[in-house]
Every structure is written in C-alpha cells, then in structure tokens.
Structure 1
Amino acid sequence: MKSRGSQYSLDTSTFLRIRKWYVFALAAIALTIIIAQILIQQHLNSQLDDSRVINVAGRQRAFSQKLVKESLLLNLKNKDSDSRKELLEELKHTLWVWETSHHGLQHGNDSLGLSVETDTEILQLFKELTPHHDAMVMAAQTIIDLDFSSTSMSEYGRQLDILLSNERPFLQKMDAIVNEYDERSKAQLQKLKLKEYLLLGVSLLILLLEVVFIFRPLSIQIRETIKDLVQSQIKSDKSTKEIQKLFLEKEKSLQELQELNFVIDNAALFASARSDGSIAFMSKKFLDLLELSKENLNKPLSEILTEDDGQKQYLREIFKGKRKNIRTEEIEIKTKTGKNLWLDVSIIPMHQSSLEQSILILCSDITERKKNQFKVEQLTKQSYEESIRQKQLQAIQIVEGQEEERKRIAKDIHDGIGQMLTALKFNIESINLSQKEKSVEKIAYLKQLASELIKGVRTATFNLTPPELSDYGIFPALQKMTVELSKLTGENILFENKADENIRFDSLAETNVYRVTQEAVNNAIKYAGANYILVTIDYKDDMLSVVVDDDGKGFDPSKLDKVPKNNSEGGMGLFFMKERVSYINGRLFINSIPGEGTRVTINYNLKR
C-alpha cells in the first residue's frame, strides 16, 4: 500500500505544500490589516461624535452672546413695534436652540446627532454651568414675556442685568467644557497611535517569521525540485527520441482517426456506403429518423433514404461515381410512413487502403428550418398584400377627402356667395326710385352686401390658390395667410420669421407645408378659442421648421387616434395633415395640454 506522501506527483505535492504556507502567511497579514482597520474605523466614528459635540459646544458660546445682543437691541427697537416683534421672534428662536443644545450635550439629542454624555468630569462642569444657564434662560424668557410699556422697562433693565452678570461666567465655564472635550479627543488619538505602532510591530514580526520559516525553506525546496526536474528532463529527452520515430509513423493514421471522430462527434445523423451503393453502417439516430430498423439495411442507400421514386433516382445520381471533393445538398425525402423531411446532406469521399472508394454521409435535420422559412415567405407575402391594401385604403381616403373639400367649397359658394348674390338681385329689383328714403336705405344695404360678397369671394379664392406661394415661396405665402385670415376672421393671428433670408424649396414641399400649416391655423380658429395664434417659421442647418402655437383650451393628445379622419365641415383633418407631411418625408409633432394650449410643429429636411 502506498504511503500518503507517495499518492501525489512531485509537482503536485510541492504545489500543495507551497499553497498551504502561502495561505497561512497571507491570512496572518490580512488579519493584522483587518484588526487595524477595525480600530481605525472605531476611532474615526468616535472622532466624528466628538467633532459634532465640540461644534455644538462651541456654538453655545456664540448663541449666549447672540441672546444677550438681541436682548439689548430690544431697548433700541422700543419705538418700532414691528421691528421689536420681529426681534422678539428671533430671540425666541435663539433661546430655543440654545436651551435645546444645552440639554442635548448632557442627555443626548438625535436631531442634533448628540449622544448621552457619560464623562464624569464633563458632567461636573455642566453641573457648575447650569445655574448660570438657567438664570439666563429665565431672564430671557421674562424679557420675551414683557409688554415693553413704560411700567415694564424697569423689569426689563433688571432682567438684562441678570443676563449680563451671568454671561461671563457662562462663557468661561463653556470654554472649560470645550477644552475638556478637546483633551479627551487628543487622548483617544494618542491611544490610537500606540495601537497603530503595536500593530505595525506585529506585522513586521509576522513578515520576518514568514521569511525565516516559510519563504527561505520554500526557496530551498523549489531549488531541489528544479534540480530533480532537470535530471528527469534528460531522461525524458532520451525516451522522446525513441518514441518520436513511432509517433511519425502513426501520425497520419491518427490524423485520419481524429478527423473521423470529429465528424462522428458533431453529426448524430451519419451513414457510410460502399462503392456499389450498399450500406456499411448507419447510426441509430438516423434509423430512428427514417423509422427503420437494422434489418432493413439490405438495400442500396438511395432506396432506404426515401420512398419517392423521383427522389430515389436523384439520390442514385449524386451517390454514384468517383469524386474528390465534398458535396453538400439540401434534399427532401419521404419516409416509410409518408412523412416528408428535409435533410442537409454532406457527401464525403473516403479512400480505403484497397484503393476502392466509399462515401460517408453526414446529415442534419432541417425540416423545422424549412417550415419556418416557408412561414416567413408566407408572412412576407401577407405583409406585402397588407401594405398594398393599406395603400389602396389611403388612396380611397384621400379621394374621399378631396370630395369633402369640393363639397365644402361648393357649400361655401352656394350658402355664402350664392345667397348673397340672390339677396343682391332681389334688393336691386325691389328698388323704387319714387320712394327716395327707402331707396337710399336699400342702396346702403346693397353696398354692405357687395362688400361681404367681395370678402367671401376673396376668402374662397385665397383658400384655393394663394398666388404668393407659387410666385414668392413659403415665407411670404405664410405671412400673407396670417394677415388675410386675421382680417377675415377677426382673430389675433401673428407671424414671426426667424430665417435670415427667403429660401425657395421644391414646389411640392412648399405646397404641402403651406396646406398643413393652413389646416393647423384653421383648426385653432375653429376649436381652440384662443386669444392669439402665432405662426413661426425658421430655416437652419437645412431644416425648415414651421410652428403653430395657440393659448386656447387644448386637448388630450392621447385621444388623437380616436378623432375621425375627416370632420363634419370638411378639410384634411389630422389624417391628411400626417399624409401630406409624410409624402414629402417630413415630420409632424402635435403637443397639447388641456387648458394651456396647443403646439403643431412641421419639420422638413432639405437633404432627405
């Protein structure tokens, strides 16, 4: 039976021994570091508490002086009741903070970050300080409660004398308390320094012991191990030369076996066939896929793979004959039970020592991939057909929108201009020159009717074809539109041009931007109930931007998709605004807050 030491090789036993001592050494160093950190953190926490206490204690001196100062100022503010009242409030606050801090330094206060004081010397100093503190508190409270009438001024002077007489002793004893806190902090720091020196000595001692008892013996052992390894290497070189001859002879055979093992390991569906087409071997998984057993392997490979005659003929063609290169095919086969499968087949030629060629068949089942590919093609076709249907639907909606626009124009002409022309005709026919007074009234009415008729004709023609758009471009056209709509509707419609110069764009882009802006302004006029409508145009970095702002009642943008595409009064509606902007590869943004107004932004990039 082997001993425990002989169970491991030389390198393993050496490594285990080195690892054990290194872990021990590192653990000792880590332990000293952790202990040092714990002590430092404890002292830092204590220092933070002492720093807070010293800060509050020092602040007590300032607040005692502030208390006396504010009490003295009350006599100066005697005639100004508002200033005295403000000063009294400040005095109350000062007294509350001063008294709270005094109790917190002794008994602790979470809001001030103070803990309960346990030092007997400091508590004794606070005990000596308390009579002066209480006297000053009572005096300040009495001053606060005074009404500062002529009869109470003598009481005010008496309480002020109490404050002044106790202030100096309070400051002296508060200085003693602060100094005591400082001495205590210095003493704790000195203790920490001694602990740090002690830990440093322990760490250096550990390092020295590790060098003497761990690193030096290990270095000697490693040197002996290297010496043994060198001797072993010499012996190994001799054996290697003898083995190398055998290795070179078998290297070729081993390479062929490695290639074959790689193929078998990475392809579960494989088979091999002889030069006459008969099967030499077929994997179990291949047999299960084809729903066959080993007893069925007495036929040629082409007949076993499929039951379809056409497929059999095709397989015979690709299996026969001698080949030098690997051939890959995706073929469809039909199993014995009528199931259709798709296989990714690789045909690999194999040359035997007898110079007779055989083939190795490697397959992958790609039936699912083919099914998914067919589904993708179907979905692509459906998506294309759906896109065509959407385009047809959009075309129908555009035609309907055009018809609605024509109906609106016809309605405006019939209900507006037509009725005014009819009224004009009837009034002209009813004029009787013999009745001068009625004739004068009718002529005046005819003038008014003619003016409204002219306004209606201008409005209709302006909405149809603004001449400024084709002659001068989008900038003057939008300015003219705001001026005319402001005159015609009486609304406060403003225009602001931030562009440096008048830029001309493609006529199609200008027309669509103009129409979308016109629709946005008309919507604001009809539905917003706004005090003003502002149209702002800008051109910067090849980007044309038109913004329509109003301060009207606004709406909920989330309900935009539920709004009908054409309103009852005709017009493009939101759908046609989006279609027009999309047609020129622009972008439309609609932002609105109920009760605050609406902003419509049209962006057109010249480089798109």
Structure 2
Amino acid sequence: MTGQVKKIALDTTTFLRVQKWYLLAFAGIAVTIIIAQILIQQHLSSQLNDSRIINVAGRQRAFSQKLVKEVMLLKTVAPDKTLQLKILNDLKQTLYIWKTSHNGLQNGNDSIGLPKEVNSIILNLFSELNPHHKAMVNAVETILKEGGGLNIHSNSYADELQILLTNEQPFLMKMDAIVNEYDQQSKERLEKLKLKELLLFGFSLLILFLEIVFIFRPLSLQIRSTISKLIQSQEETENNAKEIKSLFVEKEKSLQELQELNFVIDNAALFASARNDGSIVFISKKFLELLDHSKSKLTLTISEVLTQNQGQQQYLHEILSSKQRNIRTEEIEITTFTGEKIWLDMSIIPMHQSSLVQSVLILCSDITERKNNQIKIEELTKQNYEENIRQKQLQASQIVEGQEEERKRIAKDIHDGIGQMLTALKFNIESINLSQKEKTKEKIEYLKILTSDLIKGVRTATFNLTPPELQDHGIFPALQKMTHELGKLTGQNILFENKASENIRFDSLAETNIYRVTQEAVNNAIKYAQANYILVTINYKDNILSVLIDDDGKGFDSAILDQAPKNNSEGGMGVFFMKERIGYIDGRLFINSIPGEGTRVTINYNLKLDGSK
C-alpha cells in the first residue's frame, strides 16, 4: 500500500513538473509571437502612412506639370472665351490641391491623411524647394486674378509663364529628392524590423531547444520504458489468446452456417426449387404474389409460372434444364399472369443431392424499379445532351450573326464616313483650275480641312478596331485612352479613375476581352443612358482585377437581362456578347440598374500570376 502511494505521488510529481515546464515554454513562445505581431502591426501602420506620403509627394510632380500645361493651354484656346474660363477653373482647382498637398506634407493634414513632418533632412529639402513652389504659386495666382479678362499676348502673361517654366525643372528635381528620401527612411525602418524579428526568432529557437533537452527527451525515455512493459504484456495476452482460440473454432463454424442461412432468408425472399423436368418442388408465397399466381397453379412447370411469354418460357426451360455445375446469374424480363412486365435478377444454383429430388434452386430479386429508373435516366441523359447541342448551335449562330453585324457596322462606318470623304477629296482635286487662283486657294483650304477630317476618321476607325495602347502598354493605359478619346468624340463627360498601385500586364486574350466588354458598356451608356457623366474605375487587389462602369442615367429594368437576346436593327446582342467574352476567360460580369438612378456594370477577373507579364 505504501509503495502504491509512493508510485502515485511520483507520477503526480512528474506530471506537475512536466506541466510547469510546458507552460513556461509555451508562455515564452506566446510572448515572442505577441511581440512580433505588435512590431509587425506597428510597421504596417507606418508603411501605410509612408505609402500615402510617397503617393502624395509623387503626385506633386504631376500637378506641377499640369499647372504649366493648363497655363500654356490658355494661349491655345484664347479665341474661345468659354473654353478659356473652363481652363481657368481647372487651373484654380489644380492650384488648390497642389498648395494643400504641399502644406500637408510639411505641417500635416488630417483630411488627406498626412502627419506632420518632423524629419530634419526632409524639412531642409522642403526649405530649398519652397522658393520655387512659392514663385510658381504667385505666377498662377497672378494669372487667375486677371480671370476672363486675361490677355495672353500681354507681357504680364508671358512673364508669369516664364516664371513657371523657369521654376518647374528645379521643383521637379527637388521633389524627386524628397520622394527618394521618403523611400530611404521607409527602407531603414524595415531593416530595423528585420533585426528585431531575427532576435525574436532566435529566442523562440532557444526555447524549443530547451524543451527538447529538459522535456521531450526525458519524456521519450519514460514512454520507451512504458512501451516495453506493454509489449511484454501483449506477448502474455497472445499466449492466452491461442489457448482460448481453440475453444471458439466449433462455435465459429456454427456461426458461419447460421450466416449462410441468414443470407438466404434475408436476400432470397423470392425463391423457388424445381426438379430436373421443370416441375415445382416449392415456391415462396411472396414469389407467387409477385407473379400474380395462386397456389392452385403449382401443377405448371417453373418456366410457365415465371412468365406467360412463350419465347421467355422456352429460354427459361433451356437454362433451368441444362446440366450446369456453376451458379448462373441473369437479369430477365418476364410477363406475369395479368400481362404485367417485370424485371428479375435471377440466380440459378444447382443442387447436387443423392436423391435428385430437387436439382435447381432459384433466388430472385425484383429490380423492375431500378430498370425503369435506368431507362428514365438514359432518356433524360439523351434529352440533356440534345438540349446542350441545340444551345451550342444557337450560341454559335448568334456569335456568327454578331460578328457579321460588327463587320456590317465597320463597313458602313468606312463607306459612310471615310468613303464619302475620299470621294469628296477626289472630286475637289479634279475640280481645281490653276488659272483661277482665288477659287484654287479656297479649294486647297477646304482640302486641308477635309484631309484633317479624313485622318481623324481613319484614326477613329483604327482605334475602335485595335487600339495600339492595349498591345503596347496593357489594359490600364488602353482604358484611359479609350475614355479620353470617346469623351472628345462624343462631347460627353467620360471620366477614368485608376485605383491600382501599378500597371499590371497579363494574358493578351484576357486584356482584349476585358477591353472590349468595357468598350461595349461605355458605348451602351453613351447611346441609351442619357447620363450626365460616365465613370470607368479600375482596381487590382488580392489578385482580382475589377473594372466598374457607372453612369447616372435613366437606368432600366434588370429583369430584361434574363430574356433571350435578339439580333435586329434595335440591337440586343451587346449584353449577350459581353457575357460570352467574360465567360470565355473565366471572369464574372454583374449588371445592376435602377430606373431613374443609373447603371453599374462590374467586371471581375482572377489574375493568374503564373500567366501575367
């Protein structure tokens, strides 16, 4: 009793000691993980601020160039006062954003998410930059003060423009230096984080090493000792089992016989036995009920009881009277006494007995329902296959019709636009009479205008067919170019917003299809939406490329999208081909519209990195 108490106390002590060291080791690892996560989260927050600052600082260069460009545009559009006022308004907005961002980079600005700058190196760089910035701001403000009465031919405009051009290059160079300094500081913070992570990683490895030495190794020795004792006990158990096994041999034989009998009872509710001449020895009541016979008909042969069809009777008589020695299994359709057709899974078992009283045992299962279901499945499979073929044929014909309509449209554009201008160009050239100098001069001026329109028409046609930006630079610049060109051609307010951090290139087939679907969505908004603006937004996040086309037009009932597409003079195939194109590249297309509020078309494409450029 004392030994048992000591053993229990020893086990408890060992368990408590191992438990304590385990808790200490896990606590150490948990602390290192928590500290590492805190450091990583702090660094991520810092990286977000750095990214925002670098983005705003980099954008300052673009705004400085935009200011100079808009000031120079004032001279280009001088005759048109309305356009001049519009450019002045844009110039005012650009100057406001530029000044706000410049001040926010130094003193902070909560509205655009900029903290106050405390780094002396960056502040010194800004102090060198500020004179150029101030000179450019003063020049633009002077131009804005003149407003609609601005005289682009005056010395004042020329002086202010010269100030802008003189300070633009130094501003860009110093702004590059500031952006580089922001990037360098971000890298230094990252290096410090790496060092802390390495120290924490080393500490975790040390804890794991101590666990192996002081916990896992002693525990493995104890487990090995326990396993040895278990093996010894197993050997003793096996010896005892051999002695017991002989006691159950006869019992197992009896159990096997009972299992065979249970199989016959459980799986052969439809069974019968017959003699060599086909006469019935016994047939189950359930079998008779299935065959629609009563017990008074037992004078018939087994084949006559099983079916009323003479051909089936002859076949059954042959296989039942054959001298086979092996079990035979067949699926047979029979005709009952009432004319009903049923299917039986029939097993014919020869019984070799000395008396030869019964020579054949017949075991059956009713499989009529399974056969009927199988036939229905085959019919449904055939119908489904034929329906798929019809759908494919319909889609193919619709695609061919759509392609033909596209060719007709291109041919019509070339014939009605470029063709007519070429004809007019030819007639005007032929009508030139050099002896009539005044008329010749007028015709030449007209030919210049006509040639310019012809070049514009050719560019528009080629742009609609294959935009060069798509192949050379990718989907991002191509969509920006498309919105810009369509805005100029149609006069509508078509905007483009790129929320992606970099220009991603991927499979050319996917780029082409996404471009065409976006183009179709924008054209639909131009033709039917009667919108004040059309906004194309592109974003790339978590390997998902998203393109959104929004308008504030009249909208429509989204239920019409579920109707079958039509191909006629009123259109109707556009949405069908949009879905086909996106489905072809395994993308997803969503169209949401509310009458009177506008429409949103969303394109999502899962970008495969192994196929990207």
Whether the aligned pair in 2 keeps the contact of 1:271 and 1:281 (CA below 8 Å) is: yes
Matches within 5 A, 1:466-481: 466-481=467-482
The answer for the alignment partner of 2:129 in structure 1 is: none
Change beyond 3 A, Cα 1:432–1:478:
same
Q: 1:457-478 deviations in whole A, cap 9, x for unaligned?
A: 1111111112222233222222
Larger Rg: 1 or 2?
A: 1
In the alignment, the residues of structure 2 paired with residue 279 and residue 253 of structure 1 have an alpha-carbon distance, to the nearest angstrom, of 31
State whether residues 341 and 365 of structure 1, in contact with CA within 8 Å, keep that contact through their aligned partners in structure 2.
Answer: yes
Partner of residue 602, structure 2: 601
Distance 2:445 2:405 in 1: 37
The structure-2 alpha-carbon separation of the partners of 1:493 and 1:251, relative to structure 1 and needing over 3 Å to count, comes to closer
The question of whether the paired residues in 2 share the 8 Å contact of 1:427 and 1:442 is answered with: yes
Letter in 1 for 2:488: K
Measured on the aligned residues, the alpha-carbon RMSD in Å equals 3.6
> Match of 1:378, as an amino acid?
E
Cα separation, 2, equivalents of 1:346 and 1:363 = 6
Matches within 5 A, 1:143-542: 268-274=269-275, 277-306=278-307, 307-309=309-311, 312-313=314-315, 316-317=318-319, 328-336=329-337, 338-347=339-348, 360-433=361-434, 437-542=438-543
Offset, 1:446: 2.7
Residues 303 and 312 of structure 1 are in contact (CA less than 8 Å); yes or no, is this contact kept in structure 2?
A: no
Count of residue pairs brought into register by the alignment:
360
Compared CA separation, residues 318 and 578, structure 1 to 2 (3 A): farther
Deviation digits for residues 283-304 of structure 1 (CA, Å, limit 9, x no counterpart): 3342243243434333443443
The alignment partner of 2:539 has SS state of strand
1:555 Cα shift? Answer: 1.1
CA separation of 1:358 and 1:563: change in aligned 2, threshold 3 A: closer
Instruction: Please give the alpha-carbon distance, in whole angstroms, between the structure 1 residues aligned to 2:254 and 2:354.
Output: 12
* Secondary structure class of the residue paired with 1:496: strand
| Range with greater deviation from structure 2 (584-593 or 530-539) | 530-539
Contact 1:567 1:573 in 2 (8 A): no
SS of residue in 1 equivalent to 2:605: strand
Q: CA deviation at 1:398?
A: 0.8
Which region of structure 1 is more displaced relative to structure 2, 522-531 or 329-338?
329-338
C-alpha distance in 2 between matches for 1:398 and 1:292: 63
Aligned residues of 1:538 and 1:545 also touching (Cα < 8 A):
yes
> In 2, distance between residues paired with 1:254 and 1:491?
90
Answer yes or no: is the 8 Å Cα contact 2:281–2:358 preserved in 1. no
Shift of 1:368: 3.0
CA displacement at 1:527 relative to structure 2 = 1.2
For 1:350 and 1:473, the matched residues in 2 are separated by: 82
CA distance in 1, matches of 2:579, 2:359: 68
Conservation of the 8 A alpha-carbon contact between 1:348 and 1:360: yes
Deviates more, 1:494-503 or 1:460-469: 494-503
Identical aligned residues as a percent: 79
Contact 1:308 1:333 in 2 (8 A): no
Q: CA deviation at 1:428?
A: 3.2
Secondary structure, aligned partner of 1:544: strand
Equivalent position of 1:557 in the other structure: 558
Q: Give the distance between the partners of 2:556 and 2:375, measured in 1 at CA.
A: 47
Q: CA deviation at 1:520?
A: 0.8
TM-score, with structure 2 as normaliser: 0.52
- In structure 2, distance between residues paired with 1:254 and 1:465: 82
Distance verdict in 2 for CA 1:479–1:317, change over 3 Å: same
The alpha-carbon distance between structure 1 residues 346 and 490, as it changes in their structure 2 partners (threshold 3 A), is: same
Q: CA deviation at 1:341?
A: 1.8
| Residue in 1 that maps onto 2:122 | none
Mapped contact 2:278–2:317 kept (Cα < 8 A): no
Partner of 1:505, secondary structure, is coil
Deviates more, 1:313-322 or 1:291-300: 313-322
TM-score, normalisation: structure 1: 0.52
User: How far does the alpha carbon of each residue in 1:513-532 deviate from its partner, in whole angstroms, 9 at most, with x for none?
Assistant: 11111111111111112222
Secondary structure of the residue aligned to 2:531 is coil
Number of the residue aligned with 1:195: none
Whole-angstrom CA distance in 1 between matches of 2:460 and 2:375: 59
- For 2:524, give the aligned amino acid: N
**SS of the residue aligned with 1:462?**
helix
User: Helix, strand or coil for the counterpart of 2:526?
Assistant: helix
- Residues in 2 aligned to 1:250 and 1:368: alpha-carbon distance in whole angstroms: 40
Q: Describe the shift of the 1:315–1:573 C-alpha distance in structure 2 as closer, same or farther (beyond 3 A).
A: farther
Q: Mind listing any 5+ residue stretches in structure 2 that lack a counterpart?
A: 1-248
Cα distance, 1:310 vs. partner?
Answer: 5.6
- C-alpha distance in structure 1 between counterparts of 2:337 and 2:462, whole Å: 80
Equivalent AA in structure 2 for residue 317 of structure 1: I
Check whether the contact 1:542–1:606 (CA below 8 A) recurs between aligned residues.
Answer: yes
Alignment check: 8 A CA contact 1:332 1:340 kept:
yes
Cα distance in 2 between the residues matched to 1:355 and 1:527: 92
Pair 314,470 (structure 1): closer, same or farther in 2 beyond 3 Å: farther
User: Equivalents in 2 of 1:564, 1:491: separation in Å?
Assistant: 28
Give secondary structure in 1 for the equivalent of 2:447: helix
Using the alignment, how far apart are the partners of 1:314 and 1:562 within structure 2?
Answer: 58
Cα shift at 1:498? 2.5
Unmatched runs of 5 consecutive residues or more in structure 1? 1-247
Q: Deviations over 1:488-546 (max 9, x none)?
A: 22222222223333333222222211111111111111111222222222233332222
- C-alpha contact 1:270 1:360 (8 A) present in aligned 2: yes
Shift of 1:349: 7.0
Between 350-359 and 561-570, the greater mean CA deviation after superposition? 350-359
* SS of structure 2 residue aligned to 1:453: helix
- What amino acid sits opposite 1:602 in the alignment? I
Report how far residue 439 of structure 1 moved: 4.3
Relative to 1, partners in 2 of residues 1:600 and 1:299: Cα closer, same or farther, differing over 3 Å?
same
In the alignment, the residues of structure 2 paired with residue 511 and residue 318 of structure 1 have an alpha-carbon distance, to the nearest angstrom, of 72
- The offset of 1:266, in angstroms, is 6.9
